[in-house]
Structure 1
Amino acid sequence: MIATLKAEDQSQLQLVEREAIDDEEDLFEAIDKLISQGINAGDVKKLQDAGIYTCNGLMMHTKKNLTGIKGLSEAKVDKICEAAEKIVNFGYITGSDALLRRQSVIRITTGSQALDELLGGGIETLAITEAFGEFRSGKTQLAHTLCVSTQLPTNMRGGNGKVAYIDTEGTFRPDRIVSIAERFGMDPGAVLDNIIYARAYTYEHQYNLLLGLAAKMSEEPFRLLIVDSVIALFRVDFTGRGELAERQQKLAQMLSRLTKIAEEFNVAVYMTNQVIADPGGGMFISDPKKPAGGHVLAHAATIRLMFRKGKGEQRVCKVFDAPNLPEAEAVFQITPGGIADAKD
C-alpha cells in the first residue's frame, strides 16, 4: 500500500499546476501556430469551434471531414494542411526516435502492486486500456481509484494530472473518491475539483462529449480519460441485426476519437466494457462469456484486461491481449480505500 503523504508534500498535490508540464509542451503544437504560417485567424477559430485545438489533432482528420466544417473550402483546407505539415512531422521516423517518444509514456498506479506489476508499471498513457467482465468484477472500482492515483506526483507513480470521467451507466460516486483520497493522504476537495464529470444518455451525446474535451485538454494538464462503460449506450440505441452494421460503424468512429485523444494529449484512456453470453464458447467452459463490441472494439483497445470475481472481496485480473505484456493474472482486493493488494 502506498505510504501516506507528509503534510508538507500535500501542497504539491492539491491542485495540478500548468507549470508542472512545461517540459511536455512539445508533445503537441497549438492550432494558433497556423497563424504564423499565413493562415487567417478566422479560419483557425472555425477549426477550434469544430473541436480541433492542436496541429497534431488537425493532421488526424481527413480533408473530407475538414471541408465539412462550415466556411472552409477545399482550397482553404489544402492550405491549412500544408501549413500544419510544416509545423508537425507526420512522416517516417527511425526506430530510435520512436523509442525516444515512448519515454514520454507515464504509467499510473492502480493502487495494487500486484496489478501494477502485471501491467508493467500501471495504466499507460498514449494507449487505450479496456477492462471487461461481469458486474461486480471491479471495473468501476478501478476507475474510481485511478481518478485519485492519477493526481499523485510522478515520483509516487501517479500522473500529476487531471481526470475526465464520462459515465454512461450512472455509477460514478464522489463519496468513493473522498474515501480513496483519504487513503492516499490527499485533500478530497482538491481531488474532486481536478475531476471533470459528465453523464451521457445517448451514443451521440457520448461522442459530442469527446469532441468538447479537446478544448479542455489543450489548456489544462489532463492525464486520464475514463469511459464507463464504452458500449452500454450503443447496445440501447441500436437494436436488432438490421442496425448492427451502423452500430459498429458509429462505435468505430468513437473508438478512433479515443485513440486520437490518447495520442494527441498523452493521456491514458481507461474504458470499461460489458460481456455477452457466448453460446459457441465450447462445452468445456462452464459459463462462456465474451466482451461486447465485436472485432471493432477488440482491435481498437491497446491493452485488454479480463476481470472476474474471486473469493470475498478479491478479484482476478488477466491480461487478455497486449502488444508488450505476457498473458498472466494478478489478484487484487476492493477495499474502502479503493483497489489494493489482496490479503491472504
Structure 2
Amino acid sequence: MATKKKKTSKAKATSKKKTTATKSKEKKDATDVEDDELFKELLEDEDEEDIKQKDTSDEESSEDEELAGMHTINYDIKDLPGIGATIAKKLMDVGYSTVNSIAITPARMLIEEAGLGDKTASKIIKAAREALNIGFKTADSVWERRKSLARINTSSTDLDNLLGGGGIETGGITEFYGEYRTGKTQLMHQLCVNVQLSKEEGGISGKALYIDTEGTFRPERLIQMAESKGLDYREILKNVIYARAYSSDHQIMLIKDAMKIIIDKNIKLIIVDSLISHFRAEFIGRGTLANRQQLLNLHIHDLLRLSEMYPELAVVITNQVQSKPDTFFGDPTKATGGNVMAHGATVRIYLRKGKGEQRVAKMIDAPNLPEGEAIFALTEGGIVDVDH
C-alpha cells in the first residue's frame, strides 16, 4: 500500500509539473493560437460555479452580489480567465488596467491598440462582462451606483445648485460653452484647485489632468486661487498634470494616453479646454464636415468611455460658440460641434457675460436637472458667489 501511495504521489507531482510547464508556455505564447480548449474549460468551470450560486442564493443575496460586482473595476485583470502575464502586459501598456475598462471597450479597439487577435479579444471582453455581470439590472441597483458618485464644487453655491447640488458630478461629461471672456477657462482653473480638496471641503482628494488646446492655461491663476483658500500653492501645482495639444490628432492621442495614468496618478478630473478648437481649425469647408464630425464623435466617445471606466472621474470640457445669422429674436449664439457635441455631453451649461465681473450660467441640457440660471463672479481669488 505504501509503495502504491508513493507511486500515486509521484504521478500527481509529475502531472502537476507538466500542467505548470504547459501553462507557462501558454503565457509566453499568448497569441491568437493560444489554447482555446483551456480557455473554454475555464469559462465552463466559472459558468457551473455561477449556476450553483444562483440556485442556492435568494433574491436579496443576488442583488448584493450584483452591487458588489460594481466594485470589481479595481481588480487585477489577471484574475480573468485566459489572461496570462503576456496579454495582461499588452493590455496595461495601452491603458486597459481594470476589468471594467476591458468590459466596455469594443473588440476592434483591443485588437488595434493591444495587438490582440480577433478571438482572443472577443473572449477576454466576454469574460470581463460576465465578471461584472454587465447586462439587465433593476432600477434600484442603478440608483445605488448613482448615489456613490462624487461631486466637485465650483466655489459658487448658486452654480453648484444649478448643477444638482454639490457641483460637477463624476461619471459623466460636463460641457461649458460660451463666447470669449465668459469664464470658461477661469472655471477650469478653479476646478483644478477644488478637486484636490477633501470631501468635507467640497472636493474628492484627487489630481487634475488638464489638456490645453488654446494655450490659455496659467499656473499663476492656480496660485491666486490656492492662496485665496489658504492652501499651499506648491502642492496644488504638483497635483495638476498638464499637456498642451498642438493638433486634433495630438489631442486624441493625449486622451488615449490618459488611460495609462488615471489610477497610478489618482486622477479624478480631466479637463479639455477647448475640445473643439483644433477640429474647427483643421477641417475647413463643407467638404470636410463629415470627416470632422466622425473624428469628433470618436474623440467624445473616448472621453465617455473614460467616465464609464472610472466612476470617480469627472470629465469637463469647454466649447466655443458660433452665430446663427438667421436669428431675429433671442440669443443668436449656439454651441459648435452640432449634434455630435450635443449628444456627447451629459450636462450642458451655457455661459454668458453679466454686469461687470458677473457671469450667468444657464442649464441647457441634463438628464435629471431642470432648466435654470445661476449667477457667479470672477475675482482675483477665483470663482465666488455674487453676494460674496
Structure-2-length-normalised TM-score: 0.79
Q: Within 5 A, what are the aligned runs for 1:1-344? A: 27=71, 29-30=73-74, 32-35=76-79, 37-69=81-113, 71-121=115-165, 122-266=167-311, 267-281=313-327, 283-285=328-330, 288-343=332-387
* In 2: Cα distance, 1:135 partner to 1:111 partner: 21
With over 3 angstroms needed to count, the CA separation of the structure-2 counterparts of 1:317 and 1:102, relative to structure 1, is same
1:102-161 CA distances to partner (integer Å, 9 max, x unpaired)? Answer: 012111110011111111120110111101110000111111111111111001111211
Structure with bigger RCO (C-alpha 8 Å, 6+ apart): 1
Higher alpha-carbon deviation: 162-171 or 33-42? 33-42
Are the counterparts in 2 of residues 123 and 268 from structure 1 also a CA contact under 8 Å?
yes
* In 2: Cα distance, 1:166 partner to 1:143 partner: 11
Are the counterparts in 1 of residues 80 and 127 from structure 2 also a CA contact under 8 Å?
no
Counterpart secondary structure, 1:165: strand
* In 1: Cα distance, 2:70 partner to 2:242 partner: 27
1:266-307 CA distances to partner (integer Å, 9 max, x unpaired)? Answer: 2111110000011233x123x511000000000011110010
Higher alpha-carbon deviation: 291-300 or 217-226? 217-226
Are the counterparts in 2 of residues 32 and 44 from structure 1 also a CA contact under 8 Å?
no
Higher-Rg structure is 2
Q: Which runs of 5+ in 2 are unaligned?
A: 1-67
1:236-281 CA distances to partner (integer Å, 9 max, x unpaired)? Answer: 1111111100100000001001111112112111110000011233
**The structure with more helix, counted as a fraction of residues:** 2
Are the counterparts in 2 of residues 34 and 83 from structure 1 also a CA contact under 8 Å?
no
After TM superposition, give the deviation of residue 314 of structure 1 in Å: 0.6
With over 3 angstroms needed to count, the CA separation of the structure-2 counterparts of 1:95 and 1:70, relative to structure 1, is closer
With over 3 angstroms needed to count, the CA separation of the structure-2 counterparts of 1:116 and 1:35, relative to structure 1, is closer
* In 2: Cα distance, 1:234 partner to 1:208 partner: 14
With over 3 angstroms needed to count, the CA separation of the structure-2 counterparts of 1:75 and 1:25, relative to structure 1, is closer
Q: Which runs of 4+ in 1 moved over 3 A?
A: 24-28
Q: Which runs of 5+ in 1 are unaligned?
A: 1-23
Are the counterparts in 2 of residues 145 and 180 from structure 1 also a CA contact under 8 Å?
yes
Higher alpha-carbon deviation: 43-52 or 102-111? 43-52
After TM superposition, give the deviation of residue 27 of structure 1 in Å: 4.0
After TM superposition, give the deviation of residue 64 of structure 1 in Å: 2.3
Counterpart secondary structure, 1:172: coil
Are the counterparts in 2 of residues 202 and 233 from structure 1 also a CA contact under 8 Å?
yes
With over 3 angstroms needed to count, the CA separation of the structure-2 counterparts of 1:71 and 1:265, relative to structure 1, is closer
Are the counterparts in 2 of residues 34 and 80 from structure 1 also a CA contact under 8 Å?
no
* In 2: Cα distance, 1:70 partner to 1:27 partner: 24
Structure-1-length-normalised TM-score: 0.88
After TM superposition, give the deviation of residue 31 of structure 1 in Å: 7.1
* In 2: Cα distance, 1:189 partner to 1:218 partner: 22
* In 2: Cα distance, 1:189 partner to 1:262 partner: 28
Letter of the structure 1 residue corresponding to residue 207 of structure 2: K
* In 1: Cα distance, 2:226 partner to 2:289 partner: 41
Identity %: 46
* In 2: Cα distance, 1:85 partner to 1:108 partner: 30
After TM superposition, give the deviation of residue 52 of structure 1 in Å: 1.7
The residue that corresponds to 1:10 in the other structure is none
Letter of the structure 2 residue corresponding to residue 44 of structure 1: A
CA RMSD of aligned residues (A): 1.8
The total of aligned residue pairs comes to: 319
